[in-house]
Structure 1
Amino acid sequence: MRGKAVSVSVLSVMLALILAGSGRGELLLKKNLSLEDAKKAASAAAIEAKKNKWNMAIAVVDDGGQLIYFERTDETQIGSIDIAISKARTAAYFKRPTKALEDAINGGQHAIMSFPNTLPREGGLPIFADGKCIGAIGASGGRSSEDAQVAKAGVDAFK
Structure 2
Amino acid sequence: MHFKIFVTSLAIIGATLSFKAGALESQPVLNLDTAKKIAAGCQVEASKHGWKMSVSVVDEGANPIYFQRADGAYIGSGEISNLKALNSAKMQMPTSMLDEFAFGKDKKGGPAPGLAHIPGFITIAGGLPIKAGNKFLGAVGVSGGMPHEDEACAQAGLNALN
TM-score normalized with structure 2 length: 0.77
- What secondary structure sits across from 1:70 in the alignment? strand
Whether 1:75 aligns to 2:72 is: yes
Q: 2:89 pairs with 76, 88, 92, which one?
A: 92
Note the aligned Cα RMSD (angstroms). 1.8
Aligned-residue offset at 1:115: 4.2
Q: What is the SS of the residue equivalent to 1:32?
A: coil
Give ranges in structure 2 of 5+ residues lacking alignment: 1-19, 105-109
Shift of 1:157: 1.5
SS of equivalent to 2:141: strand
How far is the alpha carbon of 1:119 from its aligned partner? 1.1
> Counterparts of 2:91 and 2:120 in 1: how far apart (Å)?
11
Identity of aligned residues (%): 40
- Identify if the C-alpha distance between structure 1 residues 95 and 43 changes in structure 2 by more than 3 Å, giving closer, same or farther: same
Residues 96-120 of structure 1: CA distance to partner in whole angstroms, max 9, x if unpaired? Answer: 1000000111122212224454211
What is the match of residue 40 of structure 2?
43
Runs of 4+ in 1 over 3 A off after TM superposition: 26-30, 114-117
Aligned pair partner of 2:156 in 132, 141, 153: 153
- The code of the aligned residue for 1:48 comes to E
> Could you say which residue in structure 2 is the equivalent of 1:55?
52
TM-score (norm 1): 0.79
Output the CA distance in 2 between the equivalents of 1:37 and 1:116: 30
